[in-house]
Amino acid sequence: MSSPSPTSSFRRLLTIDDFEIGRPLGKGKFGNVYLARLKKSHFIVALKVLFKSQIEKEGLEHQLRREVEIQAHLQHPNILRLYNYFHDARRIYLVLEYAPRGELYKELQRNSTLDEQCTATIMEELADALTYCHSKKVIHRDIKPENLLLGLRGEVKIADFGWSVHTLSLRRRTMCGTLDYLPPEMIEGKTYDEKVDLWCIGVLCYELLVGNPPFESSSHNETYRRIVKVDVRYPLSLPVGAQDLISKLLRYHPSERLTLAQIQKHPWVKTHSRRVIPPCGQMTS
Ligand code: AMP
């Protein structure tokens, strides 16, 4: 990360000496995340520390740069803020919004499923956040419980823009994302657009309510086969309204999927969602 983005020249250049480092929040593939506080303003953040050697070894400089540049420009209550970034000889530091309630994935592991209220709220929050992303021509492409963090009031925060793309044409052909959440058009190597995110939130809604993703199988080939056939089995325990929403998102043809606006107006979402819009914290150094 030798050349900073054009906007970074407006930000004050930070160094690690500006922070008091607290407890580790988690371990990622390329480094650790710590709770940290700016010495001057006492502003609390999550500091992600990445090792340049590891990023270079995996050839991920370009992807990281893209992730940072996209996330730094997004400001929405349901998208994890990237306030700033800096580097020294060996490390890259990302100054992130702190998500006090951690990962949605862990919440799901603890309880195995979420209730209708939590799931519908998450669906409304994600529909709003993705409307914002798509308006800026950003496709996330990797919505799944591991990439969603929870704010103080339990509101969802989309994190990890590692696979997202900023594209002027909004049409792409790269294969990426996680197996269980891959939409048919990506498996089949077709060009795809922002409607891949609609498929992913359909898969997410199913996993949150049922406890496992809809196309989970014993082998990758079987998962692929079930995805392209849209072979979904709805358990009897799934509420009728939720099944209606999921079945209108898990459509083979992207143009047939509900739009983000239709998700927010869907009767099941409107009945169960308890969305509260939290204030956006601004970092002061
Ligand atoms: P990552 O390297 O992004 O996968 O992060 C590793 C772990 O650190 C995650 O699984 C989370 O549990 C935790 N973590 C990352 N970012 C934050 C954050 N902004 N707020 C709270 N916890 C975080």
Question: Does residue 198 fall inside a structural domain?
Answer: yes
Question: Does ligand 1 come within 6 angstroms of the Cβ of 67?
Answer: no
Question: What domain range is 110 assigned to?
Answer: 102-283
Question: Does residue 4 fall inside a structural domain?
Answer: no
Please tell me the distance between residue 154's alpha carbon and the centre of ligand 1 in angstroms.
15
* 103 in a known ligand binding site: no
Whether 188 and 89 share a structural domain: no
pLDDT for 263 beyond 70: yes
Q: Tokens for 276?
A: 């509260």
User: What pLDDT sits at residue 162?
Assistant: 65
Which CATH number fits the domain that encloses residue 34? 3.30.200.20
pLDDT for 2 beyond 80: no
Question: Does ligand 1 come within 6 angstroms of the Cβ of 26?
Answer: yes
Percent of the chain with pLDDT over 70: 89
Whether 204 and 114 share a structural domain: yes
Average pLDDT over residues 51-55: 91
- The residue contributing the CA closest to ligand 1 atom 12 is 26
14-39 pLDDT per residue, tens: 999 999 999 999 988 788 999 999 99
- Look at residues 61, 33, 40 and name the one whose alpha carbon lies nearest to residue 283: 40
Whether 222 and 246 share a structural domain: yes
pTM: 0.90
Number of domains observed in the structure of the chain: 2
Confidence band of 257 (pLDDT split at 50, 70, 90): very high
Whether 119 and 183 share a structural domain: yes
Percent of the chain with pLDDT over 90: 75
Q: Distance between CA 260 and CA 162 in Å, rounded?
A: 22
- Look at residues 147, 142, 129, 139 and name the one whose alpha carbon lies nearest to residue 166: 139
CA distances in angstroms from 247 to 47, 166, 206, listed in the order given: 39, 28, 10
Confidence band of 165 (pLDDT split at 50, 70, 90): low
Q: Which of 74, 96, 118 is the last residue of a domain?
A: 96
Torsion, CA 271, CA 274, CA 279, CA 281, rounded to 10: -120
Question: Does ligand 1 come within 6 angstroms of the Cβ of 150?
Answer: no
Q: What is the DSSP letter of 73?
A: T
Helices (H) and strands (E) counted in the chain, each on its own, are: 10, 9
* 111 in a known ligand binding site: no
